[in-house]
Amino acid sequence: MNIGIDMMGGDYAPAEAVKGIRQFLDEGHDAVKLVLTGDEALVRPLLDEYAIPENRIVMIHASEVIGMHEHPTAALKSKPDSSISKGFKALATGGCDAFISAGNTGAMLVGSLFSIKALEGVIRPTISTIMPSVHGGSGLLLDVGLNADCKPEHLNQFAIMGTVYAKLILGIEKPRVALINVGEEEGKGNMLAKATYPLLKENKHIHFIGNIEGRDILHDKADVMVCDGFTGNILLKMAESLHEIARERKLQDEYFERFNFENYGGTPVLGVAKPVIIGHGISESRAFVNMIKLAEKMLAGKLMETMIEELS
């Protein structure tokens, strides 16, 4: 399988990406070839320095870079030779089977939605995050920002996509799915939550356990937690800030360390036809290794194929 990597994305590119590739190759993964997009003049010397074997990579030169703060749509349009644009072009045309970047998040999202197709049957692709639970384990929270306005049928599909991801990637046999809400009883909530509950309840593709409240999100009540992308994005960013707060207050605590989302590598876009993984701007080599391994697992585990089956 061929996994594409944007070598120019992230604050420490391309050096940390190359270091990550070195570590990844050191672990074996012989069936994987890495397709690198980026400025060849910058990347080549690093590949030599880290003795990356020529037969494990394909280099695609990209003369432009999309900056971290550029407007996504405008940048993709005005920079067809950027490392992100070239990566999506390779993904769309079969040059690679997955694409990873720690670069401009918005450009990665726009690219995912417009360069490659949504999976058959998917109304809205989604992005998720891992919420660490205080009693060990963690929950998959989705959507966390791709869909600020949602309809019940969107949330119902997020529940299915989250379930498939939790099974195949996180290794949870029978993921408990919950709807994030303002009360536990059926009938509680805003219009969206009230209309979503019966869909989840009757959905045979998931194991729905009912509503959970804000206090349950960090308490291992569910493996897949579904909400609209407005709520999810605010929850994710508040959770992220807890790590910073714990650090600022010099609390050396394992649990709050788990809110360091750099630990998790990257976030996959779920519901698009091929794996696209978006990393944090501050990704270091370990994050790149984790992202490449996640892409490999998504491909090898036939995540997309299973999603299509479960969504149909």
Rounded to the nearest whole angstrom, what is the least distance from the CB of residue 1 to its own copies in the complex? 34
Q: Rank residues 135 and 204 by Cβ distance to its own copies and give the closer one.
A: 135
Rounded to the nearest whole angstrom, what is the least distance from the CB of residue 193 to its own copies in the complex? 7
Spatial distance between the Cα atoms of 247 and 10, rounded to a whole number of angstroms: 23
Rounded to the nearest whole angstrom, what is the least distance from the CB of residue 181 to its own copies in the complex? 8
Q: Copy the structure tokens of residue 194.
A: 């009230």
3-state secondary structure of 148: coil
Q: Rank residues 25 and 212 by Cβ distance to its own copies and give the closer one.
A: 212
Q: Rank residues 3 and 239 by Cβ distance to its own copies and give the closer one.
A: 239
Rounded to the nearest whole angstrom, what is the least distance from the CB of residue 8 to its own copies in the complex? 24
Q: What angle in degrees, to the nearest 10, is found between the helix axes of 152-168 and 303-311? A: 140
Spatial distance between the Cα atoms of 83 and 54, rounded to a whole number of angstroms: 20
Q: Rank residues 85 and 129 by Cβ distance to its own copies and give the closer one.
A: 129
Residues whose CB falls within 8 Å of the CB of residue 133, separated by 6 or more in sequence, listed in order: 139, 218, 219, 220
3-state secondary structure of 65: coil
Note the residues at the interface with its own copies (CB under 8 A).
Answer: 134, 145, 148-149, 180-182, 189-191, 193, 213-219, 227-231, 233-242, 244-245, 248-249, 251, 253, 255
3-state secondary structure of 269: strand
Contact assessment for residue 99 and residue 277, using Cβ atoms and an 8 Å cutoff: yes
Rounded to the nearest whole angstrom, what is the least distance from the CB of residue 139 to its own copies in the complex? 12
User: Could you identify the residue written with the tokens 């892409």?
Assistant: 295
Q: Rank residues 193 and 303 by Cβ distance to its own copies and give the closer one.
A: 193
Rounded to the nearest whole angstrom, what is the least distance from the CB of residue 230 to its own copies in the complex? 4
Contact assessment for residue 38 and residue 7, using Cβ atoms and an 8 Å cutoff: yes
Q: Rank residues 55 and 252 by Cβ distance to its own copies and give the closer one.
A: 252
